[in-house]
Amino acid sequence: MVDITTSTSVRDRLALALDTDDLVGALRLARDLEPWFGVAKVGLELFTATGPEVVSALTERGWKVFLDLKFHDIPTTVGRAARVVGALGASYLTLHADGGVDMCAPPSMVCAKARPAPDSIRPVPSR
């Protein structure tokens, strides 16, 4: 049998989109495809159906979680939501850039403090 697993460096850059509202099905899919993906993308549908439990379930199984909830609100609200996302264990989140620097800077600073990024991936500080 040929080993077709993916190297760790490649796996950590590939996200598996768990676009479903079924936690059991999502976890089964993640288990089956784990040799090829290191990041699980949890969107609004799955997060709304299961709540923070999905983030915990995936991180406990060794996944990095990309929480794709598309934050777009006043800067204080988005910054606080980013803190919650970090506390849940998510590694990535989405922000709508049209919210501007004032909205995008606080979450990126929160994330940078919580999980220092490699030198090649740093948030741009607001001026």
Q: For 120, which DSSP code?
A: T
What does DSSP say about strands 64-71 and 39-43: parallel, antiparallel, or unpaired? Answer: parallel
Q: Exactly one of 41, 64, 70, 113 is catalytic; which is it?
A: 70
Question: In whole angstroms, what is the distance from residue 89 CA to residue 111 CA?
Answer: 11
**From the CB of residue 37, how many other CB atoms can be counted at a distance below 10 Å?**
21
Active-site annotation holds for 70:
yes
| DSSP string for 12-59 | TT-EEEE-SS-HHHHHHHHHHHTTT-SEEEEEHHHHHHHTTHHHHHHH
Enzyme catalytic residues: 70
